[in-house]
């Protein structure tokens, strides 16, 4: 699904978001905007609460739209009131056992927003050292959390009031020269953790380049599969704007060493053009059409693919590999590689390669059953293939970890 960024309704949404993030008062002809369309798109992108301050100040917006945004803002604030005590409890319990930790995403990036309570929270993401995973897991279990599943990057725990992703690593990096540098660099991330006050509570967060790479790697990982949404783009915009000039030069060097500088330039350029982030010297050479393509991809996917089922199905057909690993286009081969990676990350007991063909059939059948039962959207295979081809071509242009 392509997305027209020049659409007046999308433009209105972007300008309202820029108003909230950077106090850039927009030029919007309220009478020419389909506000129901704007509201629906903001809901898909989990941005409605962030639009509320602008909507209530903008003349000519229908009262029912302002009211809906107000409700979203209240809901977001209430979610934080529910989650923050749980987060604070986790940090305290880990501290009692002398387990270093830091909060990823969520509260750590929300505090960069002008109105942090309007950045809708998701799961609680907590980073600990690999050597502390067992003790940290025991801590969560003692708090009433139950282990739901395990991946290469984190263990997921759930309780009635919250879901916690306990990270053994900030991200998963490819086995390339720059990917290995990024992995080694981020292995020291907790050394940068500092306590910050968020809505009256002290929480540990990564600082400097460590936090920025954590955010960017998170975006890159999801974009290389089914896609990210505009909320993650907004997170980056809010975070990059708070980086001081002295820190920025260090960040650029680390990003270059990690192979993420080109991606950071493209995303930041998109934020400059469409969200009002002040122009930076290090983004000037980025083609505007490439920055626009990344922004359009975020709109097409919605918030982590809640819009286009073609993105999810197409993701298993993509060979979103990094430099040095090959970039071939073969649907069956790509699907096999996807299944092998998923099995290794989620089913560590299935070590034998003989399991992979069985899981290829199992995952396909599982998807088919979920479509029949209404749990997944029906997808035309031709559309999914075209989506995969288009998105893989875009991802190749990002030159990740090169």
State the DSSP H helix or E strand holding residue 97, giving kind and residue range, or none if neither.
none
Which domain-ending residue is among 307, 341, 368?
A: 307
- Residue-wise pLDDT for 197-249, tens only, equals 998 899 999 998 999 999 999 999 888 877 788 999 999 999 998 887 778 88
**8 A C-beta contact, residue 295 and residue 233:** yes
- My answer on whether 256 and 345 are in the same domain is no
| CA dist., res. 143 & res. 70, Å (int) | 34
Mean model confidence pLDDT for the chain: 87
**Location of structure tokens 């979103």:** 320
Mean pLDDT, residues 163-191: 93
Q: Which of 28-42, 132-146, 374-388 has the lowest mean pLDDT?
A: 374-388
What pLDDT shows up at residue 294? 93
- My answer on whether 376 and 239 are in the same domain is no
- My answer on whether 286 and 330 are in the same domain is no
- My answer on whether 254 and 331 are in the same domain is no
Instruction: Say how many domains are in the chain.
Output: 2
**8 A C-beta contact, residue 140 and residue 187:** no
Would 1 be classed as within a structural domain?
no
- Residue-wise pLDDT for 239-290, tens only, equals 998 887 778 889 999 999 999 999 999 999 999 999 989 989 999 999 999 9
- Residue-wise pLDDT for 125-172, tens only, equals 999 999 999 999 999 999 999 999 888 889 999 999 899 999 999 998
Mean pLDDT, residues 31-45: 94
- CA proximity to 9, closest of 269, 150, 17: 17
**8 A C-beta contact, residue 145 and residue 159:** yes
Mean pLDDT, residues 359-370: 84
Instruction: Answer yes or no: is pLDDT of 378 > 60.
Output: yes
Give percent of the chain with pLDDT exceeding 70: 91
* Burial readout 229-241 (b: 16 or more C-beta within 10 A, e: otherwise): bbbbbbbbbbbbb
What pLDDT shows up at residue 221? 86
| CA dist., res. 110 & res. 122, Å (int) | 11
pLDDT confidence tier of residue 317, bands split at 50, 70 and 90: low
Range of the domain at 334: 310-402
- My answer on whether 341 and 221 are in the same domain is no
What pLDDT shows up at residue 323? 37
What pLDDT shows up at residue 156? 94
| CA dist., res. 317 & res. 389, Å (int) | 9
- My answer on whether 221 and 352 are in the same domain is no
What pLDDT shows up at residue 137? 96
pLDDT confidence tier of residue 314, bands split at 50, 70 and 90: low
pLDDT confidence tier of residue 188, bands split at 50, 70 and 90: very high
pLDDT confidence tier of residue 313, bands split at 50, 70 and 90: low
| CA dist., res. 162 & res. 183, Å (int) | 29
What pLDDT shows up at residue 292? 94
Would 2 be classed as within a structural domain?
no
Q: HSE of 36 in the Cβ direction (CA atoms, 13 Å)?
A: 0
Which domain-ending residue is among 280, 307, 334?
A: 307
Most confident of 271-280, 311-320, 347-356: 271-280
Would 233 be classed as within a structural domain?
yes
**8 A C-beta contact, residue 222 and residue 304:** yes
Q: What does the DSSP assignment read for 252-284?
A: HHHHHHHT-HHHHHHHHHHHHHHH-PPP-GGGT
Instruction: Answer yes or no: is pLDDT of 185 > 90.
Output: yes
| CA dist., res. 393 & res. 402, Å (int) | 16
pLDDT confidence tier of residue 361, bands split at 50, 70 and 90: confident
Q: What is the DSSP letter of 160?
A: T
**8 A C-beta contact, residue 189 and residue 254:** no
Would 3 be classed as within a structural domain?
no
What pLDDT shows up at residue 3? 60
Which domain-ending residue is among 252, 280, 307?
A: 307
What pLDDT shows up at residue 228? 85
Mean pLDDT, residues 14-26: 91
Instruction: Answer yes or no: is pLDDT of 318 > 80.
Output: no
What pLDDT shows up at residue 337? 79
| CA dist., res. 59 & res. 35, Å (int) | 13
- My answer on whether 302 and 185 are in the same domain is yes
| CA dist., res. 320 & res. 327, Å (int) | 7
What pLDDT shows up at residue 16? 96
Extract the tokens encoding 248.
Answer: 């920025």
Q: Which of 47-61, 294-308, 313-327 has the lowest mean pLDDT?
A: 313-327
| CA dist., res. 327 & res. 334, Å (int) | 10
Could you tell me the CATH number of the domain that includes residue 60? 3.30.460.40
- My answer on whether 294 and 341 are in the same domain is no
pLDDT confidence tier of residue 339, bands split at 50, 70 and 90: confident
**Virtual torsion, Cα 299, 300, 303, 309, nearest 10 deg:** 170
Strands 154-159 and 162-167: antiparallel
- My answer on whether 343 and 268 are in the same domain is no
- My answer on whether 225 and 112 are in the same domain is yes
- My answer on whether 372 and 246 are in the same domain is no
- My answer on whether 238 and 319 are in the same domain is no
Extract the tokens encoding 394.
Answer: 């875009």
């Amino acid at each position: 699904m392509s997305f027209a960024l020049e659409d007046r309704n999308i433009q209105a949404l972007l300008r309202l978001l820029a108003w909230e993030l950077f106090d850039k008062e927009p030029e919007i002809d309220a009478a020419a905007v389909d506000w129901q369309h704007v509201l629906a798109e903001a809901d898909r992108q989990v941005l409605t609460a962030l639009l509320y301050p602008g909507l209530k100040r903008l003349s000519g917006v229908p009262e029912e739209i302002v009211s809906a945004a107000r409700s979203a803002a209240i809901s977001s604030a209430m979610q934080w009131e529910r989650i923050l005590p749980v987060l604070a409890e986790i940090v305290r319990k880990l501290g009692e056992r002398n387990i270093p930790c830091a909060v990823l995403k969520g509260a750590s990036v929300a505090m960069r927003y002008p109105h942090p309570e309007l950045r809708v929270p998701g799961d609680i993401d907590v980073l600990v050292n690999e050597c502390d995973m067992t003790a940290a897991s025991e801590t969560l279990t003692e708090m009433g959390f139950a282990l739901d599943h395990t991946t290469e990057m984190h263990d997921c725990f759930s309780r009635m009031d919250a879901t916690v992703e306990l990270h053994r690593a900030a991200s998963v990096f490819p086995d390339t020269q720059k990917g290995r540098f990024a992995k080694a660099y981020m292995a020291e991330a907790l050394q940068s953790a500092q306590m910050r006050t968020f809505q009256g509570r002290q929480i540990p967060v990564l600082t400097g380049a460590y936090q920025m790479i954590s955010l960017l790697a998170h975006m890159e990982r999801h974009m290389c599969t089914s896609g990210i949404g505009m909320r993650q783009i907004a997170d980056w915009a809010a975070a990059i704007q708070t980086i001081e000039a002295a820190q920025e030069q260090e960040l650029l060097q680390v990003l270059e060493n990690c192979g993420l500088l080109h991606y950071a330039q493209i995303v930041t350029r998109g934020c400059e053009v469409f969200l009002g982030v002040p122009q930076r010297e290090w983004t000037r050479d980025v083609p505007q059409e490439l920055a626009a393509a990344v922004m359009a991809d975020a709109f097409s996917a919605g918030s982590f693919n809640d819009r286009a089922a073609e993105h999810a199905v197409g993701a298993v057909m993509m060979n979103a590999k990094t430099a040095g690993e090959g970039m071939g286009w073969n649907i069956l081969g790509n699907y096999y590689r996807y299944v092998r990676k998923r099995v290794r990350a989620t089913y560590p007991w299935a070590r034998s390669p003989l399991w992979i063909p069985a899981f290829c059939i199992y995952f396909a059948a599982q998807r088919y059953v979920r479509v029949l039962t209404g749990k997944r959207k029906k997808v035309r295979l031709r559309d999914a293939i075209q989506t995969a081809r288009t998105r893989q071509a875009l991802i190749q242009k990002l030159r990740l970890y090169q």
